[in-house]
Amino acid sequence: MPFTFQRLAIPDVVVVCPERRGDGRGFFAETYRASVFAEMGIVGPFVQDNLARSGARVLRGLHFQVPPGAQGKLIQVVRGAVFDVAVDLRRASPTYGRWVGWELSAEAGDLLWVPPGFAHGYAVLGDGSDLAYKVTAEYRADLDKGVRWNDPALGIEWPLRDPVLSPRDTALPFLAEIGSPF
């Protein structure tokens, strides 16, 4: 099997570990195969691919799109490393308002599946990172929302002090102020 899968404490968030085959020249790894992913409940269609570059100490998030454009994200770091976080925004879920985190790095090659109904964010570890990710719905500015990265009710244990943030991310509302569209 070209992949192993690990469900996190919120079982709908899944770490995907591609098998790497390598030698002195480098390695080869499949990063996505629809039939295998579907068996694990990770289904597309994936309709847009994104690439994000971030410098040292950058924290992005926590972002999500509301229905009808809710996005599932399949995330991979292709340069550097990040601490990646998913927050459950599904009101009927037993894990509503809880978060899980995972370190993604180009060296390890893991991917993270964040399904629709979750807010997503990450903190750059080291000098910088590039993330490549697939999404299940196209970007729509009118559906783009977020939750404050340091909401005390979420209690996310970010590995950075004094992160570099966008003006938008510093002004996002707390979860209690927005409730949940999911």
Point out the residues that are catalytic.
Answer: 63, 133
DSSP bridge partners of 145: 64
Q: Which two tokens stand for residue 142?
A: 């009118």
- Rounded Cα distance between 98 and 86, Å, is 9
Q: What 3-state class would DSSP assign to 19?
A: coil
Angle value at C-alpha 89, between 84 and 95, nearest 5 degrees? 85
User: Does an H or E element contain 61, and which?
Assistant: strand 59-65
Q: Which two tokens stand for residue 47?
A: 């309709």
- Rounded Cα distance between 138 and 136, Å, is 7
